[in-house]
Amino acid sequence: MRGSRWDGRRETGDGRREVLHSVINVQMIGRILFGAALGVSVAAGAQGPTVSKVEPPNWWGNSSVNPVRVLVRGANLAGATLECGRLACSNVVVNARGTYAFVDVTIPRDAATGAAPLTLRTAGGAATVPFSITPRLAGHGRFQGFGTEDVMYLLMPDRFANGDPANDDPAVSRGLLDRSKGRYYHGGDLAGVRQRLPYLKSLGITTIWMNPIYDNNNELNHKETYDNLPVTDYHGYGATDFYAVDEHLGDMATFKQLVDDAHAHGIKIVLDMVANHTGPYHPWVEDAPTATWFHGTAASHPNNTWQTWTLADPYSTPAMRQATLDGWFINILPDLNQDDPEVARYIVQNTLWWVGMSGMDGIRQDTWPYVPRTFWRDWMTAIKDEYPSLRVVGEVFDGDPSMIAFFEGGRRQWDGVDDRVDLLFDFPLFYPIRNAFAKGGPIRELAQMLSRDHLYRDPNNLITFLGLHDVSRFTSEPGATPEGLKLAFTFLGTARGTPLIYYGDEIALPGGNDPDNRREFPGGWSGDARSGFEASGRSADEQDLWSHLQKVLAVRAGRQELRTGTTEHLLVTDQVYVYRRGHTIVAINNGSAETTVTIPATALPADALGICAARRAADGGVAVTIPRRSGCIF
Ligand SMILES: [Ca+2]
Ligand SMILES: [Ca+2]
Ligand SMILES: [Ca+2]
């Protein structure tokens, strides 16, 4: 989610004008070309049908989804019938205003790839619906999934690196770029991520999670304002077109190129998706494809009450859960109704389309609790039917492990539903990580939180982190120090689950709350005073931290037991925590004074980090002296 600090006061209805015009122009050209090629006559009368958008614009033969439900946006579509050439069309439904037509398009299993336009006819004339059959990407090395074998890296594409200055201020969305403003576009893009793949590989990253790259509003967002000033949707969470990449970031070809290059570097790509809501300027808000497309309308809808606990509460009534499932975030973001079968099919197909077009490996799904669990079950099933290895991490932003456990996939809850999600974020562990390693609070809280792992079906399916784009940076915590950050990395690299690094934390990038926690990565823009991507551009403290993280990740990569081994707690005091994973023993002293502990072992190998010395103790164990605020990996 984007946070709960939004404050929308003004509405303007013209924010999407330019989007629609650009789409119509492109589609009209396509229609004219298709029409000419097919000899289709387009009625000259005012009532002739027109087509402005086709979703999806293409599909694959031999897909688990067949027929594919195609949504055609246009005008004068009332009474439409479709002729589909070498494809078969059925079940046409047109909305009351004649602005949307749904049609089932059945694709022969061995359909040849290439253009396969449909012809839409009404009493007023005919129009061509551009559609094509796309070659399938070879599965080898694609759609791989991710998990404990990996180290993830979250980056916000607009803020990481600017690889293509030509798209900084695109003609279609002029004026949204301002590097001095936290809520404007800064110019980062997919080409920049591609250029930094060697950097990420050198750090030890094996999976990149990127915030959404959907096309977002081309004009200022006046519905969500801060200090009475409009903002931009640079973060990507306000989709206006689910079938396009935002022009600031690149296009589908750029995205596929990034995925291919990442795979060549041994790095997987996880893309952020949002199925709960659209951006406030999505064209559907003013003209929805069905009467029940959203939960209400812009003028009349429930506000979200954020009471996610009611979803897990076995005593709650459907009415009680409704405001959380159906309410519009911050009273502004249009809440999609996944109980409308047309919406459900649209979202499933849209998800599979991104995967099939790019070869990506996984999905991070936003705002998981706010969507009916029955939908997630069906959505996950559709993903697994088409891409069995692909994995999904859901965002359940909650520090209570019982809430995370409720949404965990692989088992039914009291509602009879298994939502089938593969992974969830470990928000419950995030808070003690911050409290111990940033603020100097008791490290015992980490072990105590892990003691709740009995609530989970499989705690290995949690993604652990010390920061991400929705919380202030580690460095902004009172008491935060470089040594504390190093300890947190030592823990993340050796604890159960899949570690996630938030871009810039490897050099202790500063930043408070959103959007200050989304500063540019230094060196990502030509003309930057220095480059955090190069050792020579880092301060001594930054380099020390960076090297430490690299070393910890290398140890993790070299020891299977740190990725999949069982955990044993050997010794826990207020500020000392010793645990074993397989044959590896990790000893962390979060206190402000050196300490010596005796570990119940006959011998210990050398500390992989070169910090602690171990000697045989008189009582049979091994005595380990740990310097203040240090951690060791034996
Ligand atoms: Ca750029
Ligand atoms: Ca845009
Ligand atoms: Ca919802």
pLDDT in tens, 279-302: 999 999 999 999 999 999 999 999
- pLDDT tops 70 at residue 8: no
Return the ligand number nearest the Cα of 277.
Answer: 3
What's the CA-to-centroid distance between 90 and ligand 2, angstroms? 33
Number of other CB atoms surrounding residue 617 within 10 Å: 16
What's the CA-to-centroid distance between 271 and ligand 2, angstroms? 18
Burial of 92 (0-12, 13-18, 19+ CB in 10 A): middle
Taking the domain 149-273+503-565, which CATH number applies?
A: 3.20.20.80
What's the CA-to-centroid distance between 377 and ligand 2, angstroms? 31
Return the ligand number nearest the Cα of 525.
Answer: 1
The partner residues of 216 in beta bridges, in order of sequence, read 239
Q: What is the DSSP string of 152-170?
A: EEEE-HHHH--S-GGGSS-
pTM confidence score: 0.93
The H or E element that residue 32 is part of is helix 17-38
- pLDDT mean across residues, the chain: 93
What's the CA-to-centroid distance between 270 and ligand 1, angstroms? 21
| Domain coordinates in residue numbering, the chain | 17-133, 149-273+503-565, 284-363+385-391, 566-633
- Lowest mean pLDDT segment, chosen from 296-300, 348-352, 597-601: 597-601
Number of other CB atoms surrounding residue 362 within 10 Å: 26
**Tell me, what's the pLDDT at 345?**
98
Confidence of residue 620 (pLDDT cuts 50, 70, 90): confident
What's the CA-to-centroid distance between 196 and ligand 1, angstroms? 14
pLDDT-above-70 percentage for the chain: 93
**Rounded to the nearest 5°, which phi and psi values hold at 150?**
-110, 165
d(CA 448, CA 580): 16
Confidence of residue 225 (pLDDT cuts 50, 70, 90): very high
What's the CA-to-centroid distance between 15 and ligand 2, angstroms? 11
What's the CA-to-centroid distance between 509 and ligand 2, angstroms? 28
**Tell me, what's the pLDDT at 614?**
87
Return the ligand number nearest the Cα of 373.
Answer: 3
Q: Which residues contact 309 (CB under 8 A, 6 or more apart)?
A: 400, 403
Where are any strands of DSSP class E within 410-508?
A: 423-425, 462-465, 498-502
What's the CA-to-centroid distance between 179 and ligand 2, angstroms? 17
Return the ligand number nearest the Cα of 22.
Answer: 2
Q: Which CATH superfamily is domain 17-133 in?
A: Immunoglobulins (2.60.40.10)
Closest CA to 249 of 177, 190, 186, 172: 190
What's the CA-to-centroid distance between 422 and ligand 3, angstroms? 20
Q: Let me know if the fold of 17-133 is the same as that of 566-633.
A: yes
Q: Is cis: bond before 67, omega within 30 of 0?
A: yes
What's the CA-to-centroid distance between 236 and ligand 2, angstroms? 9
**Tell me, what's the pLDDT at 23?**
36
Strand pairing class (114-115; 132-133):
antiparallel
Cα end-to-end distance, the chain, whole Å = 39
- Lowest mean pLDDT segment, chosen from 15-24, 390-399, 436-445, 614-623: 15-24
Return the ligand number nearest the Cα of 274.
Answer: 3
pLDDT in tens, 522-532: 999 999 999 99
Q: Which CATH superfamily is domain 566-633 in?
A: Golgi alpha-mannosidase II (2.60.40.1180)
**Tell me, what's the pLDDT at 1?**
55
Amino acid (1-letter code) at residue 395:
E
d(CA 296, CA 135): 39
Return the ligand number nearest the Cα of 158.
Answer: 1
pLDDT in tens, 58-103: 999 999 999 999 999 999 999 999 999 999 999 999 999 999 999 9
What's the CA-to-centroid distance between 179 and ligand 1, angstroms? 12
pLDDT-above-90 percentage for the chain: 91
**Tell me, what's the pLDDT at 31?**
41
Return the ligand number nearest the Cα of 16.
Answer: 2
Return the ligand number nearest the Cα of 372.
Answer: 3
Amino acid (1-letter code) at residue 392:
V
**Rounded to the nearest 5°, which phi and psi values hold at 371?**
-125, 140
Residue pair 324/311 in contact by the 8 Å Cβ criterion = yes
pLDDT in tens, 454-503: 999 999 999 999 999 999 999 999 999 999 999 999 999 999 999 999 99
Return the ligand number nearest the Cα of 343.
Answer: 3
Confidence of residue 46 (pLDDT cuts 50, 70, 90): low
**Tell me, what's the pLDDT at 617?**
84
Where are any strands of DSSP class E within 529-575?
A: 567-572
Burial of 292 (0-12, 13-18, 19+ CB in 10 A): middle
What are 374's two structure tokens?
Answer: 């029955």
- Lowest mean pLDDT segment, chosen from 27-41, 114-128, 152-166, 477-491: 27-41
Residue pair 114/132 in contact by the 8 Å Cβ criterion = yes
pLDDT in tens, 128-161: 999 999 999 999 999 999 999 999 999 999 999 9
What's the CA-to-centroid distance between 162 and ligand 2, angstroms? 17
What's the CA-to-centroid distance between 218 and ligand 2, angstroms? 4
